[in-house]
Structure 1
Amino acid sequence: MSTRRIALIAAVCAALAGGLWFATGTTGEPAPQVRYVLLDGKPADSSQWRGKVMFVSFWATDCTTCVHEMPQVVQTFEKYKGRGFDTLVVAMSYDPPAYVANFASSRALPFGVAIDNMGTLAKAFGQVQMTPTSFLIDKNGRIVKRFVGEPDFNALHGQIEQLLAAS
């Protein structure tokens, strides 16, 4: 096999490995400091997440995976909300606000819903473009896990349990 072909195969393998880490990687980085407005018009910011385990999910009403996973996101929130866990779902900038409001209302979403009109939240979280992309953030405001696509909710629940138990 030629040196050029070996180099090409090595580069492809490295790119795939990097992409897999990016899709499911743990970061340990601080969550970005962001301000946003909830669907009900209330201003909020990430400083309110301190002391909580947060699940922040970027989604869109036209994303079939997002729509499919939303009942599990609701179940996860309901299961842990009384123990210091919270959820924020962030609609992407291209999602029409009326669609987001209708979706949130018709499904009675029990957690914060924000519309990222200008794309500033997606940019702050590392140029989020694919939906769903979600982040699990610990009580100290550090990103513990990044999920691209639907998470394994059983594994997610285990991670949430560990983070809630941590001091």
Structure 2
Amino acid sequence: MKTNPWAKGLLLLLLISLALWMARSKTYSFTPETTFTTITGERISMKALNGKPVLVTFWATSCASCVKEFPHLIALYDRFHSQGLEIIAVAMVYDPPNRVVAMTNERKLPYPVVLDLASEYARAFGRIWATPTTLLISPDGTVAKREVGAFDLTEMETRIQHLLKG
């Protein structure tokens, strides 16, 4: 019995697609073992945050949606930080550091702010390219939610409460 060459090609294409999908899924399933350096010089290791829910948000001072999210992020921090939530804001590589520091001070952001001077963090967290992009990391280190664009505050509160209850 002869095998159809088109069937072989289709099967090969499907296998390659499946392999790429699995590799991409793996990239976003677990958080990288990276250490952030904040604008104040503090070093925060993702490994040290194991056991806590963590919200990592990629933003830019020129991003109107990012600036509109500040009150939501501050509200989440104020409401859940004492229960274990950590928030880390990562400014994109193209954002001038002086503008990031000025906006952080002007808006009185209570959570750590990080400069991504070489796109190290954007690559580590799955090639982040759009702002805002928010990742909610569960206490076991898996990505519980990845949101490109503005997140829904009520939905995020519900997800965080669920993670805190464990």
Normalised to the residue count of structure 1, the TM-score between the two structures is 0.81
CA RMSD of aligned residues (A): 1.6
Which residue in the other structure is 1:127 paired with?
127
**Contact 2:28–2:125, Cα closer than 8 Å, also in 1:** no
Which 5+ residue runs of structure 2 have no aligned equivalent?
1-23
1:118 aligns with 2:136: no
> Structure 1 residues 42-51 or 113-122, which shifts more?
42-51
- Count of paired positions: 142
Q: Which residue of 1 aligns with 2:63?
A: 63
**Structure 1: unaligned runs, 5 residues or longer:** 1-21
Which 4+ stretches in 1 moved above 2 angstroms?
none
Partner residue, 1:105: 105
Give the CA deviation at 1:64.
Answer: 0.3
Quick one: percent identity of the two aligned structures? Answer: 33
In the TM superposition, residue 65 of structure 1 has moved relative to its aligned partner by 0.3
Matches of 1:47 and 1:130, distance apart in 2: 25
Larger Rg computed on CA atoms: 2
Letter in 1 for 2:116: D
Task: Give the Å deviation of 1:44.
Answer: 2.2
- Inter-CA distance 118–28: structure 2 relative to 1 (3 Å threshold): closer
Distance, in Å, in 2 between the alignment partners of 1:28 and 1:142 is: 8
Which has the bigger relative contact order, CA under 8 A and spacing at least 6?
1
- The one-letter code matched in structure 2 to 1:151 is F
Q: By how many angstroms is 1:28 displaced?
A: 7.3
- Quote how far apart the aligned CAs of 1:29 are: 1.3
Distance, in Å, in 2 between the alignment partners of 1:86 and 1:60 is 20
Give the TM-score, by structure 2 length: 0.82
